[in-house]
Amino acid sequence: MKKLLVAVALVAFPGCDIFDDPTPRNIFFEMNGEAGQQLRLIYSTQFVAGVNDIGVTRVQVVTSDTIVHEIPFDRVIDISIDRRWFVQAESLGSEPIDVHVIVDVDDRNLLNESGGIYPGDPWHFVYAFNQLLTRDIDVAF
């Protein structure tokens, strides 16, 4: 009887995503703003993250890569093994940098926002598959 129900479900709902694997494979990261401005970005897929009792996500970065990017830029990051991703963007100058950021995991949009990155106040984003995190982030290296 169970086999019959599955077959009926497949016929009744062709094209549904019930059997699609939601495991993340790639992060697509795009940052736009005034062309030519530079930012220091720290990327990591190896970190520990958790939310404390007051709703702050604490991120302890284990290993990371630091890259200086010139706006605009985009990257695709393979997260199929670690299933998590952290990024920190820092202004290299003394003026704030206005940016528009897009973050997608595979075909699903996670973030599409605009704002400023201020000297001494880095911008952070953290994603972890099947883990509830907040946008209020405290980072330790």
Instruction: Tell me the per-residue pLDDT of 71-101, one tens digit each, with 9 for 90 and over.
Output: 999 999 999 999 999 999 999 999 999 999 9
Residue-wise burial string across 23-56, b where 16 or more C-beta atoms lie within 10 A, e elsewhere: ebebbbbbbebeeebebebbbbbebebeeeeeee
Residue 58 burial by Cβ neighbours in a 10 Å radius (0-12, 13-18, 19+): middle
At 36, give phi and psi (nearest 5°): 95, -15
Tell me how far apart the alpha carbons of residues 55 and 133 are, in angstroms, rounded to a whole number: 9
Note the helical H segments in the chain. Answer: 2-12
pLDDT reported for residue 15:
53
State residue 3's pLDDT score.
Answer: 40
pLDDT over threshold 90, residue 4:
no
pLDDT at 8: 40
Residue whose structure tokens are 């704002």: 115
Distances (CA, A) of 122 to 26, 40, 87: 24, 10, 10
Tell me whether strands 73-78 and 137-140 are parallel, antiparallel or unpaired: unpaired
The pLDDT of residue 12: 44
Q: Angle at CA 61, nearest 5°, toward 138 and 31? A: 75
